[in-house]
A and B are shown apart, each in its own frame.
Chain A
Amino acid sequence: MRLILALSLLLLSLMAAAVIETYQFDNEVLRKRYQHFTEELRCPKCQNQNLSGSNSPIAQDLRRELHRLLHEGYSDQEITHYMVERYGEFVLYRPPVNKQTLILWLAPALFLLLAVIAVVIVIRKQMAAKLNDESEQLSGLEQEKLTELLNDRAKGRDHE
């Protein structure tokens, strides 16, 4: 048991080491910007991971390139441009709004709108059903008439 535990610990440390690279940064701002970009840029190979999470060779290259660009004084905009020039807007997890990406940006609002419409329809139906229930209840006059009728029938039966 202890051996298994020790072994599993070993496995964990290996997995964690896989995406840790030791980059030296000239200052804290560069490190922050590096972290920001590796979170926001998507790995072109393993398409549902960002650069910080991916261990594919291309992600390693892009991280190295990112580190170089940051230290060469590229601005955020220039770095984004550099990446998009090579890998297309696909690498951005926050693509700019244009014809192709419009549906991505509008879809959440559209779905929310649909949901609101659905809720309104359901509530309206329920209210209408409630009103119907009320109108189906007999008014005082109608109730009297009904009792009379029933009584008349009962009497008629007695006579037979």
Chain B
Amino acid sequence: MKIVVPLKVAASPDESAKIEGNALDESSLEWNLNEWDTFSVEAALQLSEAHGGEVVVVSLGGDEVEDGLLTALAMGADRAIQINVEDETHKLDAISTARVLAKAVESESADLILCGVMSSDGVSAGVGTALAALLDLPRVAVVNHIDYSDGQLSVRRELEGGLLEEISLVTPALLTIQTGINEPRYANLRGIRAASSKPREELTIERLGLDEDALADGSATVQALALPPVSEGAEILEGDAQDVAARIAQIIKSKVGS
């Protein structure tokens, strides 16, 4: 079976992060393979190890994307597709990202596409579901267990409160993968270096026949980025640990009445 795994290399701002216009200043960002996507790559690898097949990883963005793809290749993916996006526009929103991915992977005719539920930076949780719709694939969102046999998928969806729903569907299909579904394997650094010899295809949005400007407009326009308002709620308890503990003890006793 062929499994396509779209990946995101997600940004995490450090404590010095400053807002510049509608975005964060680039120098304060650290880029890492999105946590959810490590689980979807692992899920894909486990399926291909059990049933044979190929795992293709695909990602779009700037230079930072390469490391994420190499990490996935080092974990065991067979092939990578890197879609280069111009710097100013590479913060495509979820729907635009899905449009680009749809163009890039439709020719792959994958049996299964596995996305992470969401990314740690954008937290939209929209790419997978939008991609499935654009490719007209059946989908299940927030999956934490997969059984596969002969084109039949039997999966579990993780609902609120820990309730699980069991669902069956047929491939080709798209699943969005929840953390905790497996233990993503470690991609060692020699492996990541060696992974650069695995097949990698580089594409651009233009080559995919899409209009960058239209995509950049996307499904929403960022008006502002700000620090969240300081909450009035929390009264900060001052003093050393002893004082704090004493106050906490007092609050507990008054509220719980022990």
- Chains A and B come from one and the same complex: no
